[in-house]
């Protein structure tokens, strides 16, 4: 009966935080950041905490403990935050204005449109489409640049 007690589960997960030295936590934090941000593993929809743990020669519980303590979120939250940041840039970048919102979601690593829209809404309080439209409405020069680019492509 005790194994279903939430308090017991919380105590058990904090044991991993206590067991790791500060140096191990620092190293794992740097390696997790490197994998997700520099190597852009967030773009791989199948790259899991388990795969990261294997790549870093550690276990999933250590990855989870470092994410919770150092990044103040879980592994999925960390990956999705990076995906959302990248998507926000792409949604308003003139080079990507012709792309559908769902295509941008796929490019940043979301498995499907629903997961992209759901994660984006949780992070920003609006849908990706609303975010893009709000940005375009407040930057009318983007629409003009897009029209000029489209005209030049038609004549070429």
User: Cα–Cα distance between 155 and 14 in angstroms, integer?
Assistant: 64
User: Cα–Cα distance between 121 and 20 in angstroms, integer?
Assistant: 35
Rounded to 10°, the helix 113-124/75-92 angle is: 90
User: Cα–Cα distance between 122 and 38 in angstroms, integer?
Assistant: 24
Question: How far is Cα of residue 62 from the mean position of the Cα atoms in its chain?
Answer: 20
Q: How confident is the model at residue 4 (pLDDT cuts 50, 70, 90)?
A: low
User: Cα–Cα distance between 117 and 104 in angstroms, integer?
Assistant: 11
How many residues can be counted in the chain? 156
> Residue 78 has what pLDDT?
97
CA distances from 17 to 21, 33, 132, 149 (A): 8, 18, 40, 53
The pLDDT tens digits for 33-81 are 999 999 999 999 999 999 999 999 999 999 999 999 999 999 999 999 9
User: Cα–Cα distance between 92 and 68 in angstroms, integer?
Assistant: 31
Q: Answer yes or no: is pLDDT of 147 > 80.
A: no
- Of 127, 137, 136, nearest in space to 105 by CA: 127
User: Cα–Cα distance between 78 and 69 in angstroms, integer?
Assistant: 12
Other C-beta atoms lying within 10 Å of the C-beta of residue 31: 17
> How much of the chain exceeds pLDDT 70, in percent?
79
């Amino acid at each position: 009966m005790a194994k279903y007690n939430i308090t017991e589960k919380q105590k058990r997960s904090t044991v991993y935080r206590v067991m790791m030295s500060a140096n191990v936590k620092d190293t794992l934090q740097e390696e997790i950041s490197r994998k997700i941000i520099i190597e852009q593993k967030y773009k791989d929809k199948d790259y899991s905490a388990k795969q990261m743990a294997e790549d870093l020669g550690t276990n999933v519980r250590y990855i989870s403990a470092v994410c919770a303590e150092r990044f103040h979120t879980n592994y999925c939250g960390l990956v999705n935050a990076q995906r959302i940041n990248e998507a926000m840039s792409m949604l308003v970048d003139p080079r990507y204005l012709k792309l559908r919102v769902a295509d941008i979601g796929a490019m940043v690593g979301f498995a499907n449109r629903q997961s992209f829209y759901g994660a984006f809404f949780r992070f920003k309080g609006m849908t990706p489409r609303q975010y893009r439209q709000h940005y375009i409405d407040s930057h009318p020069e983007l629409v003009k640049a897009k029209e000029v680019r489209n005209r030049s492509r038609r004549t070429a």
